[in-house]
Amino acid sequence: MVRGKLWAVVEREYLERVRNRWFLIGTFFGPIVFGAILFLPTYLASKREANADVARIRIVDATGTQLGQRISAALNGGVMGDTSLTQVVRVAPAAVTDAERDAERAVTRGEFKGYLLVDGRTLAGQRAHYVGTNATVIPEVDAVRAALRRGVLAERLDRAGLDATEVERLVSLNVQLRAERLTTAGGRGGSGRLNALFAIIVSALLYMTIFLYGQAVLRGVIEEKQSRVAEVVVASISPTRLLTGKVLGVGAVGLTQMLIWIATGALMLRLREAVLARLGVTTAPLVLPYIEPGMLVLLLFFFLLGYLFYASLFAAVGAMVSTEQEAQQAQLPVAMLLVLSIAFLQPALEAPDSTLAVNLSMLPFSSPILMPLRMSTVAVPGWQIGLAIFELVLACVVAVWLAARIYRIGLLMYGKRPTLREVFRWVRAS
């Protein structure tokens, strides 16, 4: 009979939220955001190239050397003297002001996209000046900057009696380093960079789900208090079982949504190469990191325990307040514990075996986020995982015990928000 009542609460909480339109919107919006992250950067990067007419500029050369011609050749991708789009105007240093004025008028008339001024300071490696209608177009300015660098380098090498073409060939070596993770099971775990990305995604997903559905528990308690539904429900089931059913029901909703996101994300990753090919973008196959089945179980376990810990605390906060405005202030200490985990995300990712990362990954308030992060990046000793789980389970027991005692009295309390002394009195009296 008791189990039937508990299941009824779980079922009610689950179905009430799953049938909500905002659950459907959030469930479908998640894959859309992930798809945008997965496809858009690669697609936009393929289009992030300077236009073909980026070389349609005037070069005002006040160096008295062949620097302007060298820059022109680099912009046009040809040899010395190829100025099919670029106009090189050689002037004396004293005539720079007039030359700039003429070049500016030409750009205003639309004859050129901009003009580049090079002088003695440019040859000294100090600076050059570019003015143009495309000065805010980063790819085109980068193309001009690259051509300027090649031109200055070629001119200085020529002065030193070196063959600029040969030197460029020798120094343009680009060796690619492929970092691949080796798991403790002896198998290769895929790209190290992808493992790091996977770790960030896992941590962010756990944080977001725990926080959102912990908040859902808090709001659910407040709504029951405001609508006086709790008075009727408590008459047929104990507050402790009501709290347990609410936490489990809302947690099942979060788990459902997470599984849907994971499934759609995996499908998008599988179809990524084919979709980008349809868009005319050629990309290398994305080798996914190898995730051991045992690790997946541990990730799920940390999520469930982390959710149980924070949901119990949020439920206790909901039982202590009567309005959303009061909840915004009262929940701050609980929310800050969760936010601290994300605040240490980057240091833990950069040095997952550091003392800071190890200690934080075993503290109950941060282990649901940081231990999965470490597990996704390095081989974590079994005793550390075991200790983190033990401490988190113990923290969950304490959190549920405290929340149940506060919930039992606070659920039927209305009006003034209790002080900490009154809350401690509730805990002792329950």
Same domain flag for 281 and 350: yes
Same domain flag for 37 and 137: no
Same domain flag for 243 and 369: yes
Residue 188 · residue 323 · CB < 8 Å:
no
What is the structure's pLDDT at 172? 63
358, two tokens: 């190890």
In a domain, 6, yes or no: no
What is the structure's pLDDT at 115? 92
Q: How confident is the model at residue 186 (pLDDT cuts 50, 70, 90)?
A: very low
Terminal Cα-to-Cα distance of the chain (whole angstroms)? 24
What is the structure's pLDDT at 80? 47
Last residue of a domain, one of 170, 195, 227: 170
Same domain flag for 60 and 32: no
Q: How confident is the model at residue 391 (pLDDT cuts 50, 70, 90)?
A: very high
Last residue of a domain, one of 110, 142, 170: 170
Same domain flag for 33 and 58: no
What DSSP letter does each residue of 152-169 carry, written as one string? HHHHHHHHTT--HHHHHH
Does 127 score more than 70 pLDDT? yes
Residue 104 · residue 130 · CB < 8 Å:
no
Same domain flag for 339 and 190: yes
What DSSP letter does each residue of 206-250 carry, written as one string? HHHHHHHHHHHHHHHHHHHHHHTHHHHHHTTS-HHHHHHHHHHHH
Domain range for 297 is 11-41+182-429
Same domain flag for 283 and 342: yes
Same domain flag for 296 and 351: yes
Same domain flag for 381 and 243: yes
Beta bridge mates, 60: 89, 117
In a domain, 5, yes or no: no
What is the structure's pLDDT at 102? 92
* DSSP 8-state class, residue 184: T
What is the structure's pLDDT at 56? 86
Label residue 366 exposed, middle or buried (CB < 10 Å: 0-12, 13-18, 19+).
Answer: buried
Same domain flag for 411 and 274: yes
Identify the CA nearest to 189 among candidates 202, 176, 198.
198
The stretch 392-408 carries a mean pLDDT of 84
DSSP 3-state assignment of 22? helix
Q: Cα 309 to chain center, whole Å?
A: 25
Last residue of a domain, one of 170, 199, 218: 170
Q: What is the pLDDT of residues 305-358, one digit of tens each?
A: 888 888 888 888 877 777 777 777 778 888 888 888 888 888 888 888 888 889
**CA torsion, ordered 272, 275, 281, 282, to nearest 10 deg:** 60
Distance (Å, whole) CA 144 – CA 134: 11
109 vs 416, which has greater pLDDT? 109
Does 62 score more than 80 pLDDT? yes
In a domain, 2, yes or no: no
302, two tokens: 């940390």
Label each residue of 355-397 as H, E or C.
HHHHHHCCCCCCHHHHHHHHHHHCCCCHHHHHHHHHHHHHHHH
Same domain flag for 240 and 365: yes
DSSP 3-state assignment of 144? helix
336, two tokens: 């800050």
Indicate the number of domains in the chain: 2
69, two tokens: 């011609």
Q: How confident is the model at residue 292 (pLDDT cuts 50, 70, 90)?
A: confident
In a domain, 177, yes or no: no
Distance (Å, whole) CA 61 – CA 75: 15
Q: What is the pLDDT of residues 244-269, one digit of tens each?
A: 788 888 888 888 888 888 888 878 87
Q: Token pair 């973008």 is at which residue?
A: 281
Comparing 33-47, 130-144, 212-226, 298-312, the range with the smallest average pLDDT is 33-47
Does 149 score more than 70 pLDDT? yes
Residue 148 · residue 118 · CB < 8 Å:
yes
Give me the CATH number covering residue 86.
3.40.1710
Q: Token pair 């606070």 is at which residue?
A: 410
Same domain flag for 156 and 241: no
Average predicted confidence (pLDDT) for the chain:
78
Q: How confident is the model at residue 142 (pLDDT cuts 50, 70, 90)?
A: confident
